[in-house]
Amino acid sequence: MTHFPAPRRLGGLLFGGLLALLLIGVAAFGPLERYYQRQMAAQNQVPLNLAVESLRSALDRYAPLPALIAERPALGQLLSTPDDAVLQANVNEQLRQTATTVDASDVFLMDITGRTIAAATYRQPGSYLGRNFSYQSYFSQALGGGLSSFSIHGTTTGERGYFYAAPVEDGDRIVGVLAVKFNINAFESIWRGADSDFIVSDRNAFVFMSSRPDWHFRALRPLSEQTLRVIAQNRQYPIDRIDLLPITATDIGDDVQLIRIEGETSSEPFVMASVQLEETDWTMASLMPIAPARNQALQTLALFGLTALLLLAGFGIYRQTQARLAAEQRAKRELETAVAARTADLSTALGDLKRTQTDLIQAGKLNALGQMSASLSHEFNQPLAAVKSYADNAAAFLDRDRPEEARENITRISQMADRMATISKHLRNFARRPQQAVGPLLLNTVVQDALAVIAVRLKSSSAAFEYDTPKGNIWVIGGHVRLQQVIVNLLTNALDAAEESPFPRVTLTIDGTVLTVRDSGPGIGDDVKEKLFDPFFTTKSAGKGMGLGLSISYNIVTDFGGALTAENHEEGGAQFTLTLQPAQEQGIAAQ
């Protein structure tokens, strides 16, 4: 006769199972958390690489400037006759205009002794005029005949900047040094809007750029006395503010570390991924809090534990049922068959659940990747067209020996590149509610910027374009770049629709905070109205539209607290109405 466990014995079995699950969970939590930490680092590699490339492009933009500016004859003349007040005033103004054009913090000229005899900031308090920088390494390197670069905390102005310098030559003699400085605070303001913290350190592991101001001028490892002497001699950083950042690091993968920064009351754990900028010997790193990885590990263990508890409970019920029906062999066999069948169904269901969960996760990844790729292609298409036009114009102006017009087009290309970098920050608006600030801005300026982006398209289109500039300033609630995207999308769609009519025409009107775009096209069909603002819906032929413009525009306007509607005009064609919230005049508009 078969013997079955007593209830006390069965309780002991369940308790043993629970204890085993607890031990397994404790042992598996660490490896599982590190796995999710490495996943976080891999996901954060994309924004880290974008931040690195943005920094590189800015450095590359300023690198050739000193050598180009140093070729101006007026600089050599001033170095030969430094007491010529008229010439000095002329050079000062030239440098000021140059700094404004290239968006530099300062452009200044030094003689061979290191004394500054002209500067773009000559009108401002704390100007470099009259100051001697012979102790700076960028001066001595440029005086030796080479291009030099140098990161520094401005001991004169108090702002952190990056310097490029080049020699000023008179024949085969070096008679001075021309230096360009740009402010690095703009990078940090962009980084502060990201989900991660960013730091940039030099070859001595000294942090001089960071999205967190409390990490500025702190070393990731103790600095030697010799290094401190060099810093003090070059006045590269404020020696009195140098402090050690109490950091402990543990390697958890290739170029990935788990770090802990000790604070006054608590420690902050991060997952850190880093990239080496070989051309500057800098290291840029992103730091993500480990809380999401810990939560994912806990959720995974909780799911596993609940599943195991379910199986243990089923096993306990099964054993208790066997004990109660031990006297009835036939009932026992039937019960065993039923329990076996139910257990098989449960195992099948769990397998299907896991496969379904895996498929959903993979589908979510592919969907997100597809939307990001489509959005990038759509949002960068128009500014890239403008860049292409400006580049062609610049080449034509250079062929005609019209350098000023060419420089103007190159400046516009740079502005378009800055705009594309700004647009990239807002691509997540389509997937979730953005975190960027929304505030008062001047609608007149936004419309003019939008018209500048599609100026080439307006000129080449067969449609007549009508727009009456508002007489007064109109202030609305929104973000400059994103609202500009909406207006560009509406005008572009209107131009496409109008070209299908015999008398193509597009009209843009502004009445208070209501902006209307009307076209002379075929209008909106009844079968299209309900799906007009759905993502990936388009009436255009293949290859001419992704169906994202109106959907993205609708989400942007909704985020501003406004409304975007569409209807057929009574005289024919489609009419899109953008209604925004009014705002009072402000000194600084939201971006």
Q: Can you give the three-state secondary structure of 71-134, one letter per residue?
A: CCHHHHHHHHCCCCHHHHHHHHHHHHHHHHHHCCCEEEEEECCCEEEEECCCCCCCCCCCCECC
Residue 152 has pLDDT above 70, yes or no: no
Burial class, 156, CB count within 10 angstroms (exposed 0-12 / middle 13-18 / buried 19+): middle
d(CA 284, CA 304): 38
Per-residue confidence (pLDDT) for residue 32, from 0 to 100: 77
pLDDT digits (tens, 9 = 90+) for 218-250: 777 777 777 777 776 666 666 666 777 777 777
Per-residue confidence (pLDDT) for residue 372, from 0 to 100: 42
Query: Vertex 111, ends 67 and 159: CA angle to 5°?
Result: 70
d(CA 577, CA 143): 61
For 69, 121, 181, the CA distances from 94, given in Å and listed in that order, are: 10, 11, 16
Sequence-ordered alpha helix ranges (H) in 426-508: 443-453, 455-460, 480-498
In three-state secondary structure terms, 250 is strand
Burial class, 361, CB count within 10 angstroms (exposed 0-12 / middle 13-18 / buried 19+): exposed
Of 469-473, 479-483, 581-585, the least confident: 581-585
d(CA 572, CA 493): 16
Q: Phi/psi class of residue 103: alpha, beta or left (left: φ > 0; alpha: ψ in -120 to 50)?
A: left
- Number of residues that make up the chain: 591
pLDDT digits (tens, 9 = 90+) for 315-349: 777 777 777 777 678 888 888 888 888 888 887 86
Q: Give the HSE-up count for residue 181: Cα atoms under 13 Å, Cβ half-sphere.
A: 24
For the stretch 84-89, contacts whose Cβ atoms lie closer than 8 Å and that sit 24 or more positions apart, written own/partner, are 88/117, 88/118
Q: Which of 459, 527, 465, 460 is nearest to 490 (CA)?
A: 465
d(CA 453, CA 416): 8
Query: Vertex 139, ends 137 and 141: CA angle to 5°?
Result: 65
Helix/strand number for the chain, H first, E second:
15, 20
pLDDT digits (tens, 9 = 90+) for 414-461: 888 876 776 555 444 334 444 467 899 999 999 998 898 888 788 888
Sequence-ordered alpha helix ranges (H) in 128-220: 137-143, 185-191
pLDDT band (50, 70, 90) for residue 274:
confident
Inter-residue contact 577 to 513 (CB < 8 Å): no
Query: Which one has a higher pLDDT value, 563 or 542?
Result: 563
Interstrand relation of 218-219 and 243-244 (parallel, antiparallel or unpaired): parallel
Query: Which one has a higher pLDDT value, 126 or 129?
Result: 129
pLDDT digits (tens, 9 = 90+) for 359-369: 443 343 344 34
Query: Vertex 311, ends 310 and 313: CA angle to 5°?
Result: 65
Residue 17 has pLDDT above 60, yes or no: yes
Sheet of 243-244, strands arranged across: 243-244, 218-219, 206-210, 197-201, 282-289, 267-277, 256-262, 247-253
Per-residue confidence (pLDDT) for residue 540, from 0 to 100: 67
d(CA 550, CA 517): 13
Of 17-26, 77-86, 426-435, the least confident: 426-435
Two tokens, residue 170: 């008179």
Segment 461-488 shows an average pLDDT of: 91
pLDDT band (50, 70, 90) for residue 61:
confident
Per-residue confidence (pLDDT) for residue 545, from 0 to 100: 56
Percent of the chain past pLDDT 70, that is, above it, reads: 80
Two tokens, residue 125: 């308090």
Query: Which one has a higher pLDDT value, 584 or 293?
Result: 584
Residue 109 has pLDDT above 90, yes or no: yes
**Whole-prediction pTM:** 0.43
